[in-house]
Amino acid sequence: MEELINNLLDSLGFLFQRLNWLSIIDLALVTLIFFGILMLLRDTQAVVVLRGVLVLVVLVGLLNSLDVLPAFSWLVATTLPALVLAVPVIFAPEIRRALERLGRAGFLLRNEKASPEFEKVIEAVVTAAVRLSDRRHGALIVMQRLDTLEEFVRTGVRLEARITPELLLQVFYPNTPLHDGAAILAGTRLVAGACVLPLSASGVLVRSPERQMGLRHRAALGITEISDAVVVVVSEETGSISVVHGGRMIRRLDAERLGNILQAFFRLSSQSTGWRQTLLRIFQGKPRSGGEER
């Protein structure tokens, strides 16, 4: 045991002697890549698959290192290329999502302000959300940003109407033709109502300690996982107002916080420290949503 420890210390000393600033940059880049991959896969079903793959790789590596198992070593060497080719198939949704985020990165670096008219849209959405919350009327309002949502607009009833609080209240009034589904906003127009959205497959709501969120919240998470849209959700059971973006949810908002968050997302605040700092301050310490009733 003492000899093993001495060999380990000698190996570490040899590595530190060869360490220079280029090696540090190299290690930092590799660390950032792995960190980015883990962040992209966080709270998704791919994490379970990745965990299983890592366990399998460790076990195969240990068994393959034994010289007494030549047949097993031959099998590993033969099937390894096929396993490498299978990785893109297994992680296809996550790879696509990562490429979509990378494609949007250049646009997100811009810091232009939204049009002054859009400020009235924010006010209309906040006013409508608060009134819907008071009445316990469920609502799902999708606000388009850079990514087009035309694919989901076609699933609903096209309206092309000017956004007002009264219009949103009428759309989500219970038992009306448009109340069951999402209202999609693009710019200063209510493009369509009763739209069908994809449900989240991340499993966040399943692992929630409350496990009370329904399809409305799952749909809000789902559309934000595949686009950069911002979604305002009003719970039908509790009247709680939530904002969803990028697969993350902020819950139990009042009118002031809801307005500040939407302004931050759409870069309307000109006297603050910037929309990035505002978002960081809003999301700081906020985990992914727990559970809430539909």
The reply to whether 228 and 134 lie within a common domain is: yes
Amino acid at 221: L
What is the reported pLDDT for 141? 97
Task: Give the domain range for residue 38.
Answer: 2-108
Largest CA distance in the chain: 79
- Let me know: does 213 contact 291? Beta carbons within 8 Å: yes
The reply to whether 18 and 77 lie within a common domain is: yes
Beta-bridge mates of residue 244:
231, 249
Shortest CA distance to 152 belongs to which of 127, 184, 129, 123?
184
The reply to whether 183 and 278 lie within a common domain is: yes
What is the reported pTM? 0.63
Query: Among all chains, which residue has been given the structure tokens 């696509």?
Result: 96
The reply to whether 98 and 231 lie within a common domain is: no
What is the reported pLDDT for 214? 78
Pair of tokens at residue 214: 């329904």
The reply to whether 162 and 213 lie within a common domain is: yes
The reply to whether 145 and 102 lie within a common domain is: no
The reply to whether 164 and 273 lie within a common domain is: yes
> Where does a domain end: 51, 86, 108?
108
What's the CATH number where 212 sits?
3.40.1700.10
Number of domain units in the chain: 2
Within 10 Å of residue 165's Cβ, how many Cβ atoms? Answer: 17
218: DSSP letter: H
> Where does a domain end: 108, 141, 159?
108
The reply to whether 134 and 249 lie within a common domain is: yes
What is the reported pLDDT for 210? 47
The reply to whether 183 and 226 lie within a common domain is: yes
- Digitized pLDDT (tens) for each residue of the chain, 294 residues in all: 667 677 777 777 777 777 778 878 888 898 898 887 777 666 555 666 667 777 777 777 777 676 667 777 777 777 777 777 776 776 666 666 666 666 655 444 444 455 677 889 999 999 999 999 999 999 999 999 888 899 899 999 999 999 999 999 999 999 898 988 999 999 899 999 999 999 887 665 555 544 556 789 999 998 988 888 999 999 988 899 999 998 888 988 999 999 999 988 887 533 444 444 444 444 444 444 444 443
Beta-bridge mates of residue 231:
142, 244
249 φ/ψ angles, rounded to the nearest 5 degrees: -130, 135
Structural domain contains residue 289: no
The reply to whether 191 and 120 lie within a common domain is: yes
What is the reported pLDDT for 207? 54
- Let me know: does 226 contact 98? Beta carbons within 8 Å: no
Shortest CA distance to 266 belongs to which of 159, 143, 147, 107?
143
Query: C-alpha dihedral over 43, 49, 55, 59, to 10 degrees?
Result: -170
What is the reported pLDDT for 288? 43
* Dist CA 160 CA 190 (whole Å): 5
* Dist CA 172 CA 181 (whole Å): 9
Gyration radius of the chain over CA positions: 25
> Where does a domain end: 108, 127, 148?
108
The reply to whether 215 and 83 lie within a common domain is: no
CA angle 54, 55, 57 (to 5 degrees): 65
What is the reported pLDDT for 285? 41
Structural domain contains residue 244: yes
What is the reported pLDDT for 226? 82
